[in-house]
Amino acid sequence: MYSLNGKIIVASVAMIPMLSVAAHAQDNQAAIGYQSLNIRTDASSSSSVSFRLKKGDKVKILDQKNGWCKIEDSKKRVGWTYADGLVMNNSVKTNEKNPSNYIKTSAKVKISSNDSLNVRTGAGTNHKILAVLNNGDRVTVLSEKDGWSKVSLGNGTEGYVSSTYLVGVPDTKDGKKSIVEVTSSILNLRKSKSISSQNLKVLSKGQKVTALESDKDWTKIDADGVVGYVPTYFVQYVDDVVEEITDKTSSNANQQLNVSPGQTQNVNVGYSLSDMVSMQMASFNTITGGLAPSQSDLEYVLNPQNFTDGPDMMQFARLDEYKDSITAAELNRFLNKYTKPGDVFYNRGQDFINAARNNNINVLYLVAHSVIESGYGKSRLASGNPSNGVTVYNFFGIGAVDGNAFNGGINTAYKNNWTSVEATIDGSAKWIAKNYIHSTKYDQNTLYKMKFYYPNTKHQYASSIDWPRLIGQKMAEITSYSSVGDLNSYEIPVYN
């Protein structure tokens, strides 16, 4: 932590392995899960960026340590990146037998009613026209490659059409429906085919919804009566046609799943993104003694438009309101995945809920911040240390000033009477709420604002520019354990 003008600012983030690399060659393939991902020279956010990869790019995992993976891309370039930025090959079924994935066996022509679509003898406009299709005509897709689909017209005629003008149509014969499963930790259901359109609902990883139609970019779905669009990349078809249509009006569990999330609010910052980049670059000269990121990296993480879908959006979730978004049992399932009996965080779900409720803050955030900062309660500061005859705990590194971090953290814990796990969780929540989340002076009520505070760059919780995303990604993982899904409200900054 850094101390500036009497204010305490966290500088360290405890990193732990989040992705185990399998020993078998067939299991070490992955794809990039983010819109853009920096590949660095070493397993550290302070190391230089060697190159960037985009969402969907395939990589081979060579090694892993402390939550980072060493990867090799298709051009044989090697570097390190966050494990959370990778989607393992066995987690994303890209439907190799039908590479387009979004075009199911049944498809229909999607063009203007005044236009027509040519069916050609080969994949290209230079081939002879066999037939002409109109808007809404149905075809059977046999294969797809390089933007062209081989189709059957049902009368013995086969030919090629541009995939751009086809939309997948789920098979609804015999009372069945086509189902897709969410592969992202969280996924926003949008009103239209745009990441800037209204957020209707937030879906969780593994949630199954009805597919209505699909193209290579967006899939139209029905999620328990809420109809909207999600990026096609983050859903996968479940055995083409699987589930019988059933009555959805009965159980409490279904009613809980139908709870809508809070509102998404766009807030004008008052100046340009380039101004913000300049201010933040200057702040690194004072906060970190010159250890600043590259301007391009800073521009990327500061631009909210890069993170409006998927787990990274959690950095804009409101932290200044408690909601019953997860039960103690569900939290314990998450905590106990990473801990064992005797560890400080084992079965502590109710303590986190009590602390979040007592201080009116987001419980998902409180848990995520503590487990990242303390290594799931296993760091030296967190595991319990003697001080003046009592055992004290520090789960957030509060008071752990660089140069004397351990003693500073212990002394802070002693002064605040953090002498039990419960007292430490509640006391830390109170400290963060008072100094950041509910501060009348600063009002830093999102992870983004805690790190990239607009009016005062000296009052920022962490030095790492990736801190909001790291905590947010862990919030998203915790959300996947909840039976009610994401109930957060979001506050997204808008630059001039």
Give the whole-angstrom CA distance, residue 409 versus residue 363: 23
pLDDT at position 185 is: 58
DSSP-derived letter for residue 267 is E
pLDDT at position 67 is: 60
Nearest in space to 368 (alpha carbons), one of 384, 345, 385, 399: 345
Helix extents (H) in 131-204: none
173-260 topology per CATH: SH3 type barrels. (2.30.30)
From residue 218, how far is each of 60, 140, 179, 373, 448 by CA, in Å?
A: 27, 20, 15, 36, 27
Tokens of 132: 């002409």
How confident is the prediction along the chain (496 residues), in pLDDT tens digits per residue? Answer: 333 333 333 333 333 233 333 333 344 778 886 656 778 888 776 677 788 887 778 888 888 775 678 899 999 999 988 665 676 654 433 333 333 344 445 555 555 444 678 889 998 888 888 888 877 777 877 777 777 888 888 777 888 988 777 776 655 444 456 778 887 656 778 888 765 567 788 777 778 888 887 766 678 888 888 888 887 767 777 644 333 333 332 222 222 222 234 577 888 888 888 888 888 887 765 444 345 678 888 889 999 888 876 788 899 999 999 999 999 999 999 999 999 999 999 999 999 999 999 999 999 999 999 999 999 999 999 999 999 999 999 999 898 865 678 888 999 999 999 999 999 999 999 999 999 999 988 889 999 999 988 777 778 887 788 899 999 999 999 998 888 778 888 998 888 8
DSSP string, 362-404: -HHHHHHHHHHHHTTTTSTTTS-EEETTEEE--SS-TT--TTS
Give the whole-angstrom CA distance, residue 237 versus residue 181: 6
The full set of domain ranges for the chain reads: 25-88, 106-168, 173-260, 265-494
pLDDT at position 178 is: 72
Q: What is the pTM of this model?
A: 0.53
Whether the CB-CB separation of 469 and 315 falls below 8 Å is answered with: yes
Give the whole-angstrom CA distance, residue 261 versus residue 465: 27
Give the whole-angstrom CA distance, residue 301 versus residue 289: 21
Give the whole-angstrom CA distance, residue 139 versus residue 367: 50
pLDDT at position 63 is: 80
Query: In sequence order, what E strands does 194-321 have?
Result: 199-204, 208-214, 218-223, 226-231, 235-237, 264-268
pLDDT at position 267 is: 85
Q: Domain 25-88 maps to which CATH number in 3.40.50.360, 3.30.950.10, 3.30.930.10, 2.30.30.40?
A: 2.30.30.40
106-168 topology per CATH: SH3 type barrels. (2.30.30)
DSSP-derived letter for residue 238 is S
* 3-state percent helix, strand, coil for the chain, nearest multiple of 5: 25, 25, 45
pLDDT at position 8 is: 33
Q: 64 phi and psi, to 5 degrees?
A: -150, 150
CA angle 371, 79, 298 (to 5 degrees): 65
Give the whole-angstrom CA distance, residue 92 versus residue 464: 30
